[in-house]
Amino acid sequence: AAVLASPGGRVAFTTDSYVVDPIFFPGGNIGDLAVNGTVNDLAMAGARPLYLSVGLILEEGLPISELEQVLDSMKAAAMAADVRIVTGDTKVVPRGKGDKIFINTAGIGVFEHDREILGSSARPGDQILVSGTLGDHGMAVLAGREGLELQSPIESDSAPLNFMVADLLRELGDALHVLRDPTRGGVATTLKEIAMQSDVDLTLEETDLPVSDAVRGACAILGLDPLFVANEGKLLAFVAPQQADAALAIMRRHRAGRQAAIIGEVTGQSAGKVFLRTAIGGLRAIEMLAGEQLPRIC
């Protein structure tokens, strides 16, 4: 057990498990993903991440070189996010009873403000921002899993977002209403959840959605919609309209936010509907992703 100084005040506590297949993919591996994912879960609550625990389940026969690479990535990711891995455990299961390596990380963070950043706090008029291009992680993992040879390589966006969030909290104050990271189910599913929790309607602008040409092309070939593809280093923010441009500038100061964009707004208090205004001017209703579009994506 780790014995730690009490941070005082409110704390955030989260846990997540990672079973991504393959464990190495363009732009990252299961190790940095397990650190960044839990760091970002804490950050989306408005907390400053401090400590992580790590649980490893290893399949008999996993090459030591692969385990070392994963652990090195976890160390580098923790240092980049300024968090400490303070306790851990390892178990080994017989060959064929696992799939190389599964990781659980739990995290503790501290609140340095008295605000609550909740999915139920979106308000009519709020501008919706995303911190970068959509679908990079999901398509990178799929390409690695299926051995797809794409003309333009796609890399995972796995990255810590806690420093970006700290700046948004400090500089926007009460104008920042909602933070979420659009992981499984992508931006569309996350926005639908927020709309339902807040009892508001949202309208997105298709022409404002930042999607790389590589992801757009790969999705077209595979019949996928980038709105529903997982991200691991992006955030959605709902911001009071008078502070939207300031929020955009804050995001773009960070490497993970250089392609940030305003993609829509909260259009009214209603029944949790989400619409996409298409490039030709029509309105398309957006629903939550049904089932697993891409299983074992994180």
**How many residues are there in the chain?**
298
- C-alpha 170/C-alpha 160 separation (Å) is 18
The parts of the chain modelled with pLDDT lower than 70 are 291-293
Domains in the chain and their CATH numbers? 11-110 (3.30.1330.10), 127-286 (3.90.650.10)
H or E element that contains 141 = helix 136-146
pLDDT of residue 7: 77
Rg (CA), the chain: 19
- C-alpha 134/C-alpha 263 separation (Å) is 11
pLDDT of residue 269: 81
Amino acid residing at 250: I
Q: Count other C-beta atoms under 10 Å from residue 113's C-beta.
A: 15
pLDDT of residue 143: 87
* 142, 222 contact by CB (below 8 A): yes
pLDDT of residue 293: 66
pLDDT of residue 292: 65
The residues, any chain, with a CB within 8 Å of residue 6's CB and separated by 6 or more, are none
